Amino acid sequence: MSSSAQFTVAGADQTWTAVEFTDPWEGWAVPIVTADTLAAVCSALGLALQWDKDTAVIGDEFERVGAYPENRYVLELGRPFERVFPDDAPPHRFSMDGWYDTTDLYFCYGFDAPWNGWATPIVDRETLERVIATTEGGHTLSWNGDTALVHHVELDETTPLAPDTDGRFHLRDLGWTFDEVTERNS
């Protein structure tokens, strides 16, 4: 079964990336998104968006959408959101194992041989950026051309990750603890 973090809505003529999806509502996809994605969706749909601390106030009826969890918003806006499954959508998912306080799931194109028993995802640039952002400043990401430079702030060490011929990054060299996610792989 193919996986995708992409979604759209009729008439929008564009797609957005969800962190994940919750159970469908009336047959419609229910994406969970970041605040930035929420703002982009509201803008594309012509919905007014205001903020009351970390609560989004949306549309003319002032529907309130609280963060779930921090900086994540469930799009139950009564709109027929649909998942988009591009031909090249990543078919696998993975998570970080307890190193950082996150329950985020990430999509990947496959796995290299395990490292010390841990999964070793192969990801695109967008996913690499999301993974590094999860470290909340523990690591930084910079670029030297197409090569990612992952800098461990505390140890003052940098690991270069050159893309393969498909433009994907093999996270094995980071030596991090990733888990392959097999349940809810839809």
Q: Of 84, 114, 136, which closes a domain?
A: 84
Q: How many domains does the chain have?
A: 2
Domain that holds residue 100: 92-181
This model's pTM is above 0.85: no
Do both 27 and 71 map to the same domain? Answer: yes
Do both 79 and 117 map to the same domain? Answer: no
Give the integer Cα–Cα distance in Å for 17 and 6.
Answer: 5
CA torsion 73→27→79→133, rounded to 10°? 30
pLDDT, one tens digit per residue, over 28-63 is: 778 888 888 899 988 988 889 999 888 888 888 777
Residue 1 lies inside a defined structural domain of this protein: no
Percent share of the chain, pLDDT over 70: 89
Q: Is the pLDDT of residue 159 over 90?
A: yes
Do both 99 and 172 map to the same domain? Answer: yes
Do both 136 and 70 map to the same domain? Answer: no
Do both 79 and 98 map to the same domain? Answer: no
Q: Is the pLDDT of residue 184 over 50?
A: no
Q: What is the DSSP letter of 171?
A: G
Do both 36 and 98 map to the same domain? Answer: no
Give the integer Cα–Cα distance in Å for 125 and 133.
Answer: 12
Residue 34 lies inside a defined structural domain of this protein: yes
Do both 109 and 176 map to the same domain? Answer: yes
Q: Is the pLDDT of residue 164 over 90?
A: yes
Do both 100 and 151 map to the same domain? Answer: yes
Q: Of 84, 110, 130, which closes a domain?
A: 84
Q: What angle do CA 109, 162, 151 make, to 5 degrees?
A: 105
Integer distance in angstroms from the first to the last C-alpha of the chain?
Answer: 7
Do both 15 and 56 map to the same domain? Answer: yes
Do both 70 and 105 map to the same domain? Answer: no
Residue 186 lies inside a defined structural domain of this protein: no
Do both 120 and 79 map to the same domain? Answer: no
pLDDT, one tens digit per residue, over 74-83 is: 887 777 887 7
Do both 100 and 171 map to the same domain? Answer: yes
Range list of H helices, the chain: 35-45, 125-134
Give the integer Cα–Cα distance in Å for 96 and 129.
Answer: 14
pLDDT of residue 186: 37
Q: Of 64, 84, 104, which closes a domain?
A: 84
pLDDT of residue 71: 77
Residue 146 lies inside a defined structural domain of this protein: yes
Q: What angle do CA 63, 68, 70 make, to 5 degrees?
A: 115
pLDDT, one tens digit per residue, over 87-107 is: 666 778 888 876 655 667 788
pLDDT of residue 55: 87
Rg over CA atoms, the chain? 18
